[in-house]
A and B are shown apart, each in its own frame.
Chain A
Amino acid sequence: MTSGSLGSLPVLLAFATEPLAHLRPLDIAVIVLYFAMVLWIGFYLKGVSNTGEDFFLAGREMTAWIAGLSFVSANLGSLELMGWAGAAYQYGILATHWYWVGAIPAMLFLGLMMMPFYYVSKTHSVPGYLKLRFGEHARVLAAISFATEMILMSGVNMFAMAVVMKVVLGWNITFSILVSSVAVALYVGLGGLRSAIFNEVLQFVLIWGGALLVPILGLVQSGGWTGLETKILANLHSTSYFHLWRDTGHFASNPMGVHWTGILFGLGFVISFGYWTTDFLVVQRVLAAHNLRAARMAPIIGSFFKMAVPFIVILPGLLGLVLLQNPDGTRRVLVGEEVVSACAVNPAQGKLDNPAACSAAMASTRLSPAYKDRVLQAEPSADLHSYNEALPLMMVRYLGPGLLGLGITALIAGFMSGMAGNVSAFSTVWTYDLYKPLMYKTGSDSHYVLVGRLSIIIGVAVSIGAAYLVMHALGIMDYVQALFSIFIAPLLGVILFGMFWKRATALAGFLGLLIGIVFSASLFVWVKLHPAALAMVALSPDAKPMAENVYRALWAFLLTSIIVVVVSLLTRPKPVAELDGLVYGATVLPQEEPAPFYKREWMWACFAVAIFAALNLMFW
């Protein structure tokens, strides 16, 4: 789930002048070594990825730890790292909701309640489960939606990485796109899902190794958590930055413009459960587990790491509020991309392109009057940086030679793990849910492996095309990112009813999914064309764009649920005997081997719930 504020990231591209950082030979060596290692792993695993189960499901032999780390890592892209650090700079600790209530309950539910059905049905994908439960139509609709979303998102990821490398390091856009895409195509194309999972574990370690030092040094410099609170209060005169729930009683009383009902039901239930339990990108990692207990434990293990991620994402954003400095030693204030673009300097004349627009754009920022004057006079030292640059700016502030290379490697690793996740999931869905049932049903296993490898190469090529499309038509990025939220809520409704209600019928599943997607897309287009409609979608004139996503998902889920229930009651259900392995109450789950209490998934899930509750109370 990416930050909503990243849709405008490409705007930076047009106004990137001086890169934020200059790499030294040691930093370059660190990055080159990383690329060498991921390619080595890909080539090494090529020899053991010859069957369909090996290539598409990593041989179903991953332990809970590997599957769990990969499960979290596939979602820990750099769009996440940078976007949510920027969101924390804007909204404070409220951004943590996307990591805690927006993830943990859903991950635990997946492990404890849903994984048995995904795993026991021996499906290779989420659309594959829909086929078994609701028939071919639902599968094809879900597969087409999902494959399109994956390939476009891969392109967006690719382009976003290239923009970040351009802004942070001054690298050429085409160079960044080609190097990263060729590397991903090679290691996923050679080693399949196993290679993607292994590299995701490596990338997870590097992300922590490269990013963890920033909040540690930031806390040292700010005088610990208490010092940070004191400094934020002194500079920003608000305590809202440190409260998760206290100020969500009304849309207008918190900087994000959201209400607790939207956070709890829209984000905490529909979006979160939709993403973590039905998005094949993450579910595929858990399906690779070597037995049912490992498959159930993997999301639970992942939940502990997910709860820790705000330490390397949210905390740097908060620290940036008070620690980032201008060259003259005053506190640096970050602004939105629209302000950066409005205040662009014409390099030939050394003056602002449009001082009036710049002045108007800066009016709502926290920039001091003196700094605004300097910006209007286009002083070279009075440069503007956007919220999304909070994390790279903090890296540049604290990381010297070698460590900076490691930090940049963490960002690159994040991008590559996201892209690899997209293309490996696309390859499986394309091969088994579209190519095999619709084009060539009687191929051999080796034929489908070949199709899978080719689809990765073609998928990466299409992603590159999507990346350039986004570059030349920036508005498209908003639409591509919206695909996820448009599709996921109806899918959740259909899968939950399919998995937990024996009465749900094939026609109900298909119609619920189709009408839910159309309805969700219509709401999105309505708000795009008439921004005032946001007040109706989110039920408040004070609602901000962040609230739109959560309420749109909530309404789409409710409509899908109503359709599934009504149509199911009007149509004839499958006999219960045909639902074995697919539906709760009609499935006899295999007996798991006895295990000591400290290896049982329920015990660790209770532990995770206790930490989750404690964190929410601590930062209430």
Chain B
Amino acid sequence: MHGSRISIWFFIGVLLIVYGAMIAASGVSEWVTGNYAPGVELVRLHMPVWWGALLGAPGLFYAVKFRPRKRVGAVAHDGAAQKPSPKPNAPPPR
């Protein structure tokens, strides 16, 4: 893929960070206030806190590692390999 394109892993990283922060914050709030959602099992394990952190950590890693950078001739590490840009109006594949 082309150097200036944003990696899919960056999108995933950002979403995981936001989700992790929201869920962990909700978990911390439950933990502090003791106001747990009724009918939910195993609330004393405080899973929102740990799961939020577990989502956020890889999210942070991906967001930083694959952050958009302007580099000439760079490879976007998004699962898209470096390849020359196809010419406009190139013949269609068979």
A residues sitting closer than 8 Å to B (CB atoms) are: 24, 26, 29-30, 33-34, 37, 40-41, 44, 48, 50-54, 56-57, 59-63, 65-67, 69, 121-124, 128, 132, 198, 201-202, 205-206, 209, 213, 217, 220-221, 290-291, 294, 396-403, 406, 432, 444-446, 448
Contacts and interface: CB of A to CB of B under 8 A. Distances in A.
Nearest to A57: B93
B81 A290 contact: yes
A398 B46 CA distance: 11
Nearest to A200: B8
5 contacts: A52-B92, A61-B80, A128-B94, A397-B41, A403-B48
Contacts of B51: 213, 403
B89 A446 contact: yes
A37 B15 contact: yes
A283 to B, nearest CB: 14
Contact of B88 (A51, A69, A397): A51
- Chain A binding site: helix, strand, loop or mixed by DSSP? helix
B55 to A, nearest CB: 6
A106 B1 CA distance: 30
A285 to B, nearest CB: 12
Contact of A63 (B39, B79, B91): B79
Contacts of A40: 11
Max chain A C-beta neighbours (<10 A), residue from B37, B41, B55, B87: B41
Interface residues of B, number: 44
Contacts of A60: 83
Nearest to B81: A290
B61 interface: no
A206 B26 CA distance: 19
Contact of A400 (B12, B15, B36): B36
B94 A122 contact: yes
A204 B60 CA distance: 18
B79 A398 contact: no
B42 interface: yes
Interface string B56-94: 000000000000000000000011110100111111111
Given A65-B79, A124-B93, A294-B81, A403 B22 contact: no
B89 A290 contact: no
Contacts of A29: 22
Nearest to B90: A51
A444 B89 CA distance: 7
A187 to B, nearest CB: 12
